[in-house]
Structure formats: structure tokens, C-alpha cells
Amino acid sequence: MSEKRPARQPHSGHHNLDPHLPRYAARTAGMTASEIRALFAVASRPEVVSLAGGMPNLAALPLESLSSQMAELIAKDGLTALQYGSAHGVPALREQICEVMALEEISAHPDDVVVTVGSQMGLDMVTRLFCDPGDVVIAEGPSYVGALGSFAAYQAEVVHVAMDDQGLVPEGLREALAQCRTHGKRVKFLYTIPNFHNPAGVTLAVERRAEILEICREHDVLVVEDNPYGLLGFDGQTYPALRSMDPDNVVYLGSFSKTFASGLRVGWVLAPHAVREKLVLAAESATLCPPTLNQLVVSRYLATHDWKGQIKTFGENYRERRDAILSALEQHMPPGCSWTHPDGGFYVWVTVPEGVDTKAMLPRAVTARVAYASGTGFYADGFGSRQMRLSYCYPTPERIREGVRRLAAVLESEMDL
């Protein structure tokens, strides 16, 4: 038997019967179904209040005017909109993206922006560009599940660094980097979500930002800043992007998924000049080019709609839901539970008392008609069994309150066991 045969696929019993098993590349061993995706099917039953998924709430979008704009786009510009474009992205959109980023103090040249199919593609490309198997990515613990999926797909090892209510702890980062160095591990980049963190719901304190950049410089580690929620602060507050403070050492990932429409799958990467060239080549081999029609839809939307006003409206809807979840948690959760207090974004991160296992409890919660995302999915190392992520972005405030009531009752009976 060939020595190169990949490890058995851990993700599903079906694969034991999969006749293609010996053919898969070794790296597929790291591709496992995310716990959260698996949950979507059950959680989307109407009787279940789902606090599990992080679907943006699009109800406030002006569908009628979008619809006429799209029709006009096809009528006037159809032959361009329906044609291949450059792997780099539509030039007019790249210029507008620079205006969007200026809201977070980033000054960028449109040439350094690469349009992607959502920032998820940016994550995939950046990992593809930098990580060989066994290379280390430092990430907050917990971290975004989709990023962990990309890191696993390229067989990168994730080392988590703790957060507190001010975000990533600089001292923890220093220690992690020192440990990696002691063990001869190659750290490729720090992956960080500074604003309204998914799943933790915290924001990196402004005072910590320069320090974190400095530590990464000292250790010659690149920073990958993932910022899809930065404009969704509930008081209209924004923070200086890491990218604005050290443009040569930060790759920035942006997205229109949370500020406009997730289904269009339009995001971008802003990278130092040399990296940008490699990114365009990587993008070309992945997709030839991002969808021209979708890019033009976004471009036209930015040019003709009050997009900042729309973001404000989205933010108001999310704030109302955040208020509902925090007051319901305060009112119903049993003693010994704690949670974060987000001032933007979609998520609350809850810690439950010792002895409760959120993953084991989940089927009982679903029976009680409430769903959440258990904490272990947000760590690469199995940690997180006393944590859970609650997303308040999608359900109505009334449903959120009902969901938290149900969840608290399940937790209470769990704690009695």
C-alpha cells in the first residue's frame, strides 16, 4: 500500500463506504464539517428560535429601488455586466471601496484592493499564499469558524491567544509567540477580528492596537485583519483599523456582506503592494474573476443610494436586538453564567457554570425549541465546552426574549442534574 495514503476522513461515517477515499489529497483530512453548518438544518425549523446562525437581517433593504437599479444596469450596461472581468476586480468599485475604508482611517490606493467572492475567499487565498502544512497561525480564542476552516484546509496549526473584554490580550500574544519560537514553529500571521468580534462580541481597545502591531513587527509576523463588522457600531462609533496604523505589515479583509447584501458575495482584500500581485494570481486561478454583475450592482448601489444611512438603519435594528438579548439574559439566566456586552455586530458570547457542557446540551436545547452555537466550534483545539455563541442579528426582539427564556430553563435543568 502506498505510504502516501491520507489519514482516514474523520468527519462522517459515510466516508468509510466512500470508494474515493484513497484518492483524496492528504490535506482533506483537515476538512471537517463545521458544527455550526450541521446545526443549520434543525435550527431553521420555524418552531425553533435560532440564536445559532449569524445571518444578516436584510429586511430593511430597499428592494424596490434595488430592483429597478438592477434592471437599468442590465439594460444599459448588460454586455459588460454579463462578461468576464479582471481578476483584480472592477476598477470603479475598487475606488469606491477605498472610500468605504476611509471611514476607518485607512488610506489606500485602488490598485492595492483585490475584489473577492466574499471575505471568505480572501481568507482562503491569504492562507493559500502564506501557509505550508504545519505553519502556525495565531488567532484569538475563540475565533471565526470559517477562518478556522480555511486554516485547517491548508493544514496550518492554530495557536489561540486569550481575549478579555478589551479584546486580544497583548501579553498573551507575546507569550504565544515566544512559545512558538522555543518550539521551533514557524508563525506566519496573526489572524484577528478587532471590531465586534465573531463570536466573542468584544472590540480591541484602541490603546492595545499599536502594541499588538509592534509585537508582530518584533517577531516578524504578518497581521491579517478581518473586519466585516467595523461599520456596525451601535453608536455610530468607528475605530482606527490596524491597517491604518501599519499598512506595510497588515493584510486587511473587508466585505459588503454585513453592510449591504451577503448573497452578492462581494468582499475585498487590501494588501501591501507585493502581496497584492500574488493575490491577483491566486484569485485568477481560483475563479478567473469575481462576478462582474455583482460588482456592478454594489458599485451602482454605492453611487446612487444613501449607503451610510442604510448601514445606520441596519445598526438600529441590530441595536434593538442586542438590547433585547442583554436584558433577557439579565432577567432569566441562572446564577454562575456570564456574557459579553457587545456595542456593535451580531454576537454575545456566554460562559456557563462548570459541569455544563454546551455541546452535549444542544440536542436538549433544540428539543426545548432554542438553538445556539456551542463554543467548541470556535476553537481549533477542543476548548470551549463551557461557552456558547448567541446571535441576536436575525430573530425579532420578541423571539429573542422567548429564545433566552427557553435557553435559561434548559440550563437550569442541566445544572440540577
Which chain residues interact with ligand PMP by CB under 6 A? Answer: 54, 118-120, 144, 146, 193, 198, 226, 228, 255, 257, 262, 267
The three three-digit cell numbers of residue 332, written as one number: 432569566
Helix 292-304 and helix 63-81, axial crossing angle in degrees, nearest 10: 130
Q: In whole angstroms, how close is the CB of 216 to ligand PMP at the nearest point?
A: 19
State in angstroms the smallest separation of the CB of 15 from ligand PMP.
27
Residue count of the chain: 417
Whether the bond between 142 and the residue before it is cis, its omega within 30 degrees of 0, is yes
Rounded to whole angstroms, how far apart are CA atoms 20 and 17?
A: 9
The residues facing 147 across adjacent strands are none
Residue located via cell numbers 483545539: 381
- Residue placing its CB nearer to ligand PMP in the complex, 257 or 358: 257
CA dist 238 → 160, 234, 397, 408 (Å): 26, 10, 25, 33
For 14, residues 6+ apart whose C-beta sits below 8 A from its C-beta are: none
Nearer to ligand PMP, 108 or 121 (CB): 121
Min dist. Cβ of residue 253 to ligand PMP (A): 7
Q: Are 292 and 80 in contact (CB under 8 A)?
A: yes
**Least gap, CB of 123 to ligand PMP (angstroms):** 6
- Which of 361/377 has CB closer to ligand PMP? 377
State the pairing for strand pair 167-168/387-391. Answer: unpaired
Q: Which is nearer to ligand PMP, 290 or 403 (CB)?
A: 290
Look up residue 306 and give its DSSP letter. Answer: -
Complex with ligand PMP: residue 180 or 193, whichever CB lies closer: 193
Give the nearest distance from C-beta 229 to ligand PMP in angstroms: 7
Instruction: Report the residue number, 193 or 326, with the smaller CB distance to ligand PMP.
Output: 193
Query: In angstroms, what is the minimal distance from the CB of 265 to ligand PMP?
Result: 7
Q: Which residue is nearest to ligand PMP (CB)?
A: 118
